[in-house]
Structure 1
Amino acid sequence: MVAEHADTVVRRTSQEAFKLVHQGDLKAGITKMSELKGVGPATASAIMCAGAPDKVPFMADESVDSVPGLGKIAYNLAYYLKFAAKVIDKAAQLKQVGGDVNTPHKVELALWADMMADKFDLPRPSVDKQAQKQNKMEQSAATPSSGNKRKATDASTAPSKTKETEKVKDDDSTTNKKARSTRSSSAKK
């Protein structure tokens, strides 16, 4: 169906849709892109996300499934806008607190990755491991460089291994798996 469109129509429609999104009108941009035969809101969101990831989340099923309160998935504009509003709000919250996942596209990707980790039962880093990594980064930033690429670690500044940190490494129960409270878990029952 998409191949039926002349290149000029696709270019003109895309440019108009991107302009609308960059002006802050997501609804109009998705609607404009959806004028192309064979392009619905989900496909339009993928196209728009490629050109405006700071404004548009892609409507991937796994990402949508990770957002509570959306109801049964529907591939229409109203449903997409409900999903996008929640993702955009979360991105704004994360940006305000200085998080790295701070655009609608990054939030949508994080939701997708989280769903895939659940689907394939992949372990997640524990909070303790993340804190240890952060501490190491802070220590290396605070230590002045002497120009040597390899440094001996000073025993007084090196983090000590305790039985507790050893247990964290070996204990699979420390992964941060969370129970799904969305349609996915209810559909499996």
Structure 2
Amino acid sequence: MITNNHQDKQLSTLRLFRRIHRQTTIFIFIFFLFVSVSGLLLGWKKNSGDFILPKSHEGTSTNFEDWLPLDQLNNMASQYLHDSISPILSTELDRMDIRKDLGMVKFIYKNHYWGIQLDGASGKLLSKGLRRADFLENLHDGSILDKYMGSNNSYFKLIYTSLIGLALITFTITGFWLWYAPKRVKKNKLKNNFSDSQKKMT
């Protein structure tokens, strides 16, 4: 009787974990899809033929003494952005990526995904293109919602990453139990059957 109760508890726990695993899958499926697809594409960003991330071009000098002032380079980048892409694009910078070893500067903007690369010495336009990798990164970590909502506190990113992290932990625990529990139940059942047969023989 005790053995049967023990088996019933194991089966009940197994059913509970299966239900949690299934319901979590339904709830979080779309988020896992975003994370997996964006993560896959980000892994290929430097091998995408400039489609996901424009390659870094080389300038004419790696010596800072030959470079134009950063303020002047920024003004030139803003002009290139408006003249060669669109006059309505915001010129508010997210960051300037200075590549001394390549002799160039990347200008990455806050409110859109266009990027500009300039020769640090001459200010010549080396490249302009969509930084799709930045969009994928924002999608991957949930910060895309903060970006479009104008939130500076990353609340959506925090909630999103917390949900994904907790879901993965739940998946790991329930997935392991769904693999292990049937083996345990089967082992106990064989053990009990053997014990019963031994009792009958005696």
Query: What is the TM-score with the length of structure 2 in the denominator?
Result: 0.23
Larger radius of gyration: 2
Q: Which structure is richer in relative contact order (CA contacts within 8 A, separation 6 or more)?
A: 2
Normalized against structure 1, the TM-score is what? 0.24
